[in-house]
Amino acid sequence: MPKRKKKEEEKEEIGFITTLSVPSEGSVGRTGSWRIFIPVMDETRCNKCLLCWIYCPEACISKDIRINYDYCKGCGICAEECPRGAVTMVKEEK
């Protein structure tokens, strides 16, 4: 950490360390690897109500109802919320 008596041109360096972050995709890695159950979409039952898009806590479902499996942790909220039973959680083989 800088000391108090600094030359004028060095003053820019004064700062501190804390936990600020700019939100960005995949900043903590591919969290899809945490998944045990994978959501499988049955497009014939989906009526595009977008409840899954609203409820997904990780913003992993796009507005055209495509699931980003790189980051989906398999929490199952989309399956729980879907009123048409179009999402099924299936044990994932790895």
Partner 1 sequence: MRLVETGNHVAAWGARLARVEVVSAYPITPQTQVIEEISRFIDEGEMDCEYIPVESEHSAMAAMIASAAMGVRSFSATAAHGLAYMHELLHWAAGIRLPMVMVNVNRALGPGWNIWCDHQDTLAARDTGWIQLYCASHQEILDTVIQAFRISEDPEVNLPVMVCYDAIFLSHNYMQVEIPEQQAVDDFLPPFRSLWRLDLEHPLTHGSVIYPDDYEEVRYSMFQALESAREVIRTAAEEYRERVGGYHGGLVETYRMEGAENALVAMGSMASEAKVAVDALRDAGHPFGLVRVRSYRPFPMEELRELLSPMRTVVVLDRSISFGMEGPLFSEVKATVYGRSDALVYDLVTGLGGRDVTYELIAENAAAAAEGRLEPRTTWPAVRLNEHHLVSKRGLEKLWGKEGWR
Q: Return the number of the residue (15 or 83) whose C-beta is nearest partner 1.
A: 15
Q: Does 4 bind partner 1 (CB under 8 A)?
A: yes
CB 94 within 8 A of CB 38: no
Q: Does 14 bind partner 1 (CB under 8 A)?
A: yes
The residue from 7, 8, 9, 15 that contacts partner 1 (CB under 8 A) is 15
- For partner 1, the binding residues (CB under 8 A) are 1-4, 14-23, 28
